[in-house]
Structure 1
Amino acid sequence: MKIKIAVPSKGRISEPSINILEKAGLGLIDKNNRKLISKTFNENIEVMFARASDIPEFVNDGVADMGITGVDLIEESESDVVELLDLRFGQTKLVLAAPEESDINSVDEIRNDMKIATEFPVLTKKYLDEKGLDLKIVKLSGSTEAAPFIGIADLITDLTSTGTTLKMNHLEIIDVLLESSIKLIANEDSLKSKKELIEAVSTSIKGVLDADRKKLVTMNVKTADLDKVKEVMPSMGGLTISEVLSDEKTVAVQAVIDEKQVFELVNDLRNAGAKDILVMPIERII
């Protein structure tokens, strides 16, 4: 039994997608000579490279058993897939925007005789229907932000993460159609027939996500100082304490903490009597 995982072949989410698979133990064997399909360190798992916009349909049709792509592309393709995990990167929004110099400052000021340009006609049509609007939709494959200034459309819907590009092109956000991020998805039939393997991939990737910005802190503490260390020591799941063979009664203490706590915590631990403090990265938490 084998599975294929479809990942974007290029674009802003390609490398992060590959990186998260590698951290999960699914490194590509022929990474430097990328082909349509690449083997991984697991002989039963292959990676298939595809356009991000094609991945929802590939997973829907069973061409790939799993995939990594954006919510916006899943919704636009109207694919029937199972969302397994939010991969916590690639956050973006599909927004409705109008030229700053236009008289459109809200949805209520949009007229049915206007045109709207977009790379997302399905989501745009759904939004317009919800608002009771009947605009002509002009489908574009890029440079959507230029449409109002070359006379193609009065409005646009486009993806943005910070809004900077829209501002640079003198466009103002009127409304948000969809908030998107990158998801790990699966084919419904594959999830039933290849459940064990798919769940293993999902669990490994979740372990990588849960370990993000976490550190393992270990130290030696005299038994007499242990209560003081406990008072200042946060922990994800409680402290692990073990005896140290030493002339003085000493224990080894370890705990998982957030990365942002490290700077102040190390000083607090030292002042509480901890010694030999080590801060180490964590690859996965299962």
Structure 2
Amino acid sequence: MKIKIAVPSKGRISEPSINILEKAGLGLIDKSNRKLISKTFNENIEVMFARASDIPEFVNDGVADVGITGVDLIKENEADVHELLDLRFGQTKLVLAAPEESNINSVNDITDDMKVATEFPVLTRKYLQENGLNLKIVKLSGSTEAAPFIGIADLITDLTSTGTTLKMNHLEIIDVILESSIKLIANHDSLKDKKELIEAVSTSIKGVLDADRKKLIMMNVDESDLDKVKEVMPSMGGLTISEVLSEKKTVAAQAVIDEKEVFELVNDLRNAGARDILVVPIERII
């Protein structure tokens, strides 16, 4: 039994998606010659490259068993898929925006004789309906931010991460329609029929996410100083202690800590009596 994982073939989320699969142990066998379908280190798992906007539909229809794509695209396609994991990257927002010099400062200033340009007509229509508006929607496939300035529309809905591009184009955010991030999704039937393999993929990727910004800290400590070290040592599950064969009673201690704790903690541990301190990156936590 095999599964296909649909991954964006290009764009801002393509490389991060491939990287997270590789860290999870599902590296592509031949990265130099990317084809439509590529084998991975696991003979039962293949990666299928597709446009990010097509992935929700591919997973919905069972063309792919698992996929990596954005919440915005899942909802725009109205795909009926199972969300396995939030992959914690690609955060963005679908916003409603208007020219800075317009008289549109809030949703209350919008009238039905206006037009809105977008790459997301489904989400835009739902938003307008929820706000009792019936604007004409102009569907575009790119350069949405130019629409108000060339007479195509009065407003736009578009994706933004920081709002910088909108500001550069003299557009002001009026409202946030949707907050989005990148998800690992699965086909409902595949999740039933190929549950073990899909859960193995999900578990491996979750292990990579849980290891992000975590470090393994290891040290030697005289038994007489161990209580002082314990007092300053934060960890996910307490210290792991093992005996060190030496003339003086010494133990080796290790724990998983947050990356942000490393700088101050190393000094605190030294002052508490720890020595030979090592800080090691972690690839996965299962």
Band of TM-score, shorter chain:
over 0.9
Report Cα offsets for 1:113-163 as digits up to 9, x if no partner: 000000000000000000000000000000000000000000000000000
Aligned length: 286
The residue that corresponds to 2:71 in the other structure is 71
SS in 2 for 1:201: helix
Number of the residue aligned with 2:214: 214
Structure 2: which amino acid aligns with 1:91? Q
Indicate the residue corresponding to 1:246 in structure 2. 246
Q: Does 1:191 align with 2:191?
A: yes
Superposed CA offset, 1:155-181 (max 9, x none): 000000000000000000000000000
Q: Which runs of 4+ in 1 moved over 4 A?
A: none
1:261 aligns with 2:269: no
Give 3-state SS (helix, strand or coil) of 2:97's partner: strand
Partner residue in 2 for 1:279: 279
Aligned partner letter, 2:103: D
Matched residues in 2 for 1:94 and 1:58: separation? Answer: 23
Q: Which amino acid aligns with 1:245?
A: L
Alpha-carbon offset, residue 5 of structure 1: 0.1
TM normalised by structure 2 equals: 1.00
Alignment of 1:23 with 2:18, yes or no, is: no
Matched with 2:138 is 138
1:161 partner letter: S
Q: Aligned Cα RMSD in Å? A: 0.3
What residue identity is the alignment partner of 1:108? N
Task: Specify the SS of the correspondent of 1:30.
Answer: coil
Displacement, 1:238? 1.0
- 1:221 alignment partner AA: V
| Partners of 1:26 and 1:89 in 2: CA distance | 19
Q: Following TM superposition, by how much is the alpha carbon of 1:237 offset from its aligned partner in structure 2, in angstroms?
A: 1.1
2:202 paired residue number:
202
Distance 2:42 2:134 in 1: 51
Query: 1:103 Cα deviation (Å)?
Result: 0.3
Amino acid of the residue matched to residue 96 of structure 1? L
Matched with 2:48 is: 48
Question: d(CA) in 2 for partners of 1:229 and 1:8?
Answer: 47
- The correspondence of residues 14-163 of structure 1 with structure 2, limited to 5 A, is 14-163=14-163
Deviation at 1:260, TM superposition (A): 0.5
The whole-number CA distance in structure 1 between the counterparts of 2:237 and 2:58 is 40
Unpaired segments ≥5 residues, structure 2: none
Instruction: Specify every segment of 5 or more residues in structure 1 that has no aligned partner in the other structure, as ranges.
Output: none
Corresponding residue for 1:234?
A: 234
